[in-house]
Amino acid sequence: MKDWKKAGNIAKEALIYGKGLIKVDASVLEVVEKVEKKIFDLGGKPAFPTQISINEMAAHFTPIKDELKFKAGDVVKLDVGAHVNGAIGDNALTVDFGDNKELLKASEEALKNAIKVVQVGTQLREIGKAIDETISSHGFNPIKNLSGHSIDIYEQHSGITIPNYDDGDDYELEEGVVIAIEPFATNGVGKIEEGKDSGIYKLQGIKNVRNQMTKKILDYIEKEYKTLPFTSRWLYKKFPEFNVNFALKILERDGMLYHYKQLPEKSKGLVSQFEHTLLVNDKVEILTKQ
């Protein structure tokens, strides 16, 4: 449990640090890389590439090497994960550079109200109901095909889905489970769709590899990231870009890598997100509490 608490604290500190870096005209790439460095400086490792999803983009966006900058009017989601020996802390917040105070309030209050109903024996549908009712009360929609999740060692999504609406799931939370609750609120229709490739990958199996450079990159991925998500941006720091791109293409083609898609809101609505990681016991502990 020591590692879980340390990971939660590192994720929290890195998220707060990152929030302070997000300013109009600041480089998105620089913010992401500074946040990831902060995680290392605090004694952890990134549990996944730091994600900064702007406006209608709900999730799975991390800059690779572009010159994207924050603009006036942007709604910026910052999603940060840290791990210590595979124990993960996952948290997120939203920064508004426009006039979207109520949109942010909807998802932030939904997270607070969802946490209030969590205890051993709580049905998953009850969490979703609290989220949906809160977001709807502010005049917005929850994104129904995004959800929170349970977390295990080296598994960011370990099987249990925490819905953002009452989906009828009567599964009851068990003692000792670690979960991430992340309400997404939108002024759109409340659904995401798959967009462009994100450059974020996850190892999902090992097979024989003939090309020696590709095998070297695969061995590095397995050693450094195990089953946690990673980005091509990280590999570019270790290997030539051409070799990385070739290896990723082969490994994805052969079913060894899963490539995440960017997830924009279907109707291009603005999206806000807040998230905490919780340990469910007799007393529920927010591992990423600020």
**Catalytic annotation, pick one of 138, 155, 157, 166:** 157
CB 232 within 8 A of CB 270: no
Long-range contacts of 50-53 (CB under 8 A, 24+ apart): 50/14, 50/18, 50/78, 50/79, 50/80, 50/81, 51/77, 51/78, 51/79, 51/80, 52/22, 52/28, 52/76, 52/77, 52/78, 52/79, 53/77, 53/79, 53/263, 53/271, 53/273
Do domains 2-192+267-286 and 197-261 share one topology? The answer is: no
**Catalytic annotation, pick one of 60, 83, 132, 149:** 149
**Catalytic annotation, pick one of 13, 36, 56, 90:** 90
Q: Is residue 79 annotated as part of the catalytic site, yes or no?
A: yes
Q: Is residue 182 annotated as part of the catalytic site, yes or no?
A: yes
Could you report the per-residue pLDDT of 45-104, keeping only the tens digit for each?
999 999 999 999 999 999 998 789 999 999 999 999 999 999 999 999 999 999 999 999
Separation between Cα atoms, residue 275 and residue 120, nearest integer Å: 20
How confident is the model at residue 32, as a pLDDT? 98
**Catalytic annotation, pick one of 13, 36, 74, 79:** 79
Please state, rounded to an integer, the average pLDDT across all residues of the chain.
97
**Catalytic annotation, pick one of 56, 126, 182, 265:** 182
Spell out the CATH class of 197-261.
mainly alpha
Could you report the per-residue pLDDT of 198-229, keeping only the tens digit for each?
999 999 999 999 999 999 999 999 999 999 99
Segment 232-244 shows an average pLDDT of: 98
| Domain positions in the chain | 2-192+267-286, 197-261
Give the architecture (CATH level 2) of 2-192+267-286: Alpha-Beta Complex (3.90)
How confident is the model at residue 57, as a pLDDT? 98
How confident is the model at residue 65, as a pLDDT? 86
* 184-186/271-273 β-pairing: antiparallel
**Catalytic annotation, pick one of 60, 265, 275, 276:** 275
